[in-house]
Structure 1
Amino acid sequence: MFVRVLLRFYRFHLFQNVFNRMCICKTYLSLLAVLLVMTLHVNAQTEKFTSRLYFPGGVGVNIPSGDEQVSMKRGSVLNTAVEYRPAYINAVFFRFNYDALNNKYKSRAGEVPTNVTEGKLSAGFLLLGVGYRRKLNRLGIYTLLQAGYNSSGYNNTSVNSNGITVGSVSTKHPAVKIAAGLEYYIVPHFALVLEPAYYHLYKARSQYILNPDYVSYGIGFTTTLF
């Protein structure tokens, strides 16, 4: 009887956590949609839609946090994004990112998501958010807050009758990114960009995160297609 009560309590608690996360995601997306509609109404432009789409990209270095159980080395970061500017400058903007971070790790304990104790961690982020930009002469400064999804992948080995097989395993996590950027506009629709950023992963179904925090420094550019 006592065990049944514990199981019911655990199931209720698990359902409540999932429901709360879904509500937070829906609220976040609803706020983004409302903000986009309000911005479009206030900052109507004469530019074509394609002229409001920017494509930021960059490369750089990331510094992982690691922990007492895992030693992480500095790695690379690749940033790709699509940005929509309802107004050209001095206004709110919206950005969707795919960021890829790669690091080498060495585990000092057994509590890792893979049986490979020394290998490569590949972290991919899908992020959507809102930012604000100000411009002074040729310089632009912006801040950006994004939320989304992380997939962290590792190598994994298994032994069978034919020998050892090398495969892969991944864990999924909710994630947020906070970034700031400094832009230098060579022409009105092309700028060089320096962007420091902070990433944080939250526990979801996976109870252990090999690396929960990253700080990255990237350099790149942003431009329109037309």
Structure 2
Amino acid sequence: MPMVPVVQVFRADLPAGVVPFPEGADVLQVLWCPFTHEFPASPWPLVFWRDSAAVQAVLPAPPTDPAATRWQVPAPCVVYPERVTEYPNWDLPEDLADEWRDDFRRLKAAIPPHAYSDFAEAPGTKLGGYPSWFTGEGWVDCEGCGGRMDHLLTVASWECDGGSWHIWLPLEDRDEDGGRAVPVDPTGLDLGSLGSVYLFECRACPDRPFAHWWDCC
């Protein structure tokens, strides 16, 4: 059964320091099996770090299984990486959340109807940064060393929603009146009620094992 290509990024196209690439690799490829698997009930992903100079013949188009779940096969898109600054929301330490509670109230009063969560984590598909959880934290511990894995990639159904696009949609994706000029779901993915698949890796272990989690609203 052919795997479905989901994300491919070249190190040269990324802002420096977003994700550390293994030595000798300059391409990150994520593929998945486009069927819903058991818990976590999502497409089952695989992570590959490659040396582009070692790649030989390349297929003109990746093969697909006619029986594949269509909303788990992304439409072809060109990626234009952009670095943004974000902050933890679900992962904000409790003592800081208590200390900043009044600041959050002032922020919401100053820019209604937005709350701190609207400004904290960038929505959509992204490398690195903080996962934008729906129902709760889904961090994964490494089976090898026992440490908490690092967030590598979020693959999201939508790049933004009806509220977050006002803050996070790039200027070049807006019309002359400041409205949304592009669809919020350019890939056509629907990962279970507009959910996301989160990929994690352990950078402390030499083989950089990975795991994933799935969450939806």
Please confirm whether the aligned pair reaches a TM-score higher than 0.5, indicating the same fold. no
Greater Rg over alpha carbons, structure: 1
TM-score, scaled relative to structure 2? 0.24
**Larger strand percent:** 1
TM-score of the superposed pair, with normalisation by structure 1: 0.24
